[in-house]
Amino acid sequence: MPGTKRAPTGAAVLRPDLTDSIVKAALDELAEKGYQGLSMDAVARRAGVGKSALYRRWPSKQEMAVSIIAQLGVPLVEVTDTGSFRGDVRALLASILRWFEDHQLGPIFTDLLGVARTNVALGDALTEHLGDPRRQRGSVILDRAIERGEIPADIDRELVMDLLAAPVFWRLHARRQVVTPDYLDSVTDFLIRGLK
């Protein structure tokens, strides 16, 4: 009927396929230009969308970068119950290595860590949305080991979580050495001996 207005349908529905193409474009931009060179304009151009499509999803480039990295990186810490603390630690180290060696996520993560040293807001966002959730998932192996009586209940959980990730990160990114299965086995055995 002429002159009849269509009733508003509420908030715009975000299309998953469009979100996927934006995420891919953002990852490509981050991998090529780093966080400092990242712009919403460039991501929108690469994804073939208007900037409004990005701003409907994230209010800023920081929110976009952290959200994407957290969404892709946090699930990589899932560790199935192997039945032993040693098996769980070894599996967790392997998952940490997969994250750090990922051809896109690894370099992007190390770049973000570098920027976060002077960008407090980015550092806080990475801790809240990536660091803390990853540690919570990883600490499940401590819960299981305590329940099985393999480690003391009063273990310093924060220190243990630091010790799990640090050797892999340091060897791969600081020393730029290959992390082999034998290396992961050695780290696992060393940690198990120290934690009992």
In a domain, 90, yes or no: yes
Same domain, 86 and 173: yes
Please identify, among 8, 27, 57, the residue that sits at the C-terminal boundary of a domain: 57
Q: Residues 172-189: what's their mean pLDDT?
A: 95
Contacting residues for 60 by C-beta, under 8 A, at least 6 apart: 40
Region for residue 83 given its phi and psi (left: phi exceeds 0; alpha: psi -120 to 50; beta: otherwise):
left
Q: Is the pLDDT of residue 182 over 50?
A: yes
- Is 120 a domain residue? yes
Contact 25, 43 (CB under 8 A): yes
pTM of the model: 0.80
- The model's confidence at residue 12, banded by pLDDT at 50, 70 and 90, is low
Do 146 and 180 lie in one domain? The reply is yes
For position 36, which CATH number holds? 1.10.10.60
What does the alpha-carbon distance between residue 156 and residue 160 come to, in Å, rounded to a whole number?
6
Domain total of the chain: 2
- Answer yes or no: do 99 and 155 share one domain: yes
On whether both 96 and 173 belong to a single domain, the answer is yes
**Residue of higher predicted confidence among 147 and 18:** 147
Average pLDDT on 106-127 reads: 91
In this structure, are 37 and 95 located in the same domain? no
Is the same domain home to 191 and 113? yes
Percentages helix, strand, coil for the chain (3-state, rounded to 5) are 70, 0, 30
Higher-pLDDT residue of 48 and 102 is 48
Domain that holds residue 129: 72-195
Q: Band of the pLDDT at 148, cuts 50, 70, 90? A: very high
Same domain, 85 and 180: yes
pLDDT over 90 at 16, yes or no: no
